[in-house]
Each structure stands twice: as structure tokens, then as C-alpha cells.
Amino acid sequence: MLDFFDSPLGNLTDKGYLDERLVYDFFFEWIRGYWSACQEYIESQSDKTKWNNFAALYKTVVEIHMHEPGSDKKAVLTGDDLREFLEWELE
């Protein structure tokens, strides 16, 4: 999943081939959920360039989310919210 969010999704969005708003509309819940679950792991990698496009994509969609009327304004899922996301993914 991390590779998918990094490339093609993050890479194509960064290069302007995919519209940021469209990516937000279709993928925000997964991007936020997987970033929340894996951020610590991603940032612990010795290769600091690994998953850079995913990190940039996450920041982009969170910025859109924060300005979205009626959004929960949560950039990162924690506790019960993260557990609920991961259980939803298992289904």
C-alpha cells in the first residue's frame, strides 16, 4: 500500500497528471488512514527519500481536508478512530 500511495498516486499527483482535488475525493480516507498507521515506520527508515511522494501527497490532501466544510478536521487518526479504520480495512 505504501508503494501505491508513493507511486503511482503520489508521483503522478506531484507531476500534475492527477488533479489534487480528485485524489482527495477518491482516496483521502485511505491516505489518512495508512499514513496514520505507518507514519512512525516511514519516518524510521534509514533511506529518508523512501515514500517521499506519499508524504507529500498526505500533506496535500490534508490541506484540502482542513478547508472542506463539514470535515472532521483530523489530520491523523489515533486511538479508536485508527482502530476503526484498520478494522474497516480488514473487512
Our count of domains for the chain comes to 1
Domain that holds residue 77: 2-90
pLDDT score at 8: 96
pLDDT score at 61: 98
Tens of pLDDT, residues 21-76: 999 999 999 999 999 999 999 999 999 899 999 999 999 999 999 999 999 999 99
The reported pTM is 0.94
pLDDT score at 85: 98
pLDDT score at 2: 97
Contacts for 61-64: CB closer than 8 Å, 24+ residues apart: 61/20, 61/23, 61/24, 61/27, 61/28, 61/31, 61/32, 62/32, 64/20, 64/21, 64/24, 64/28
pLDDT score at 35: 98
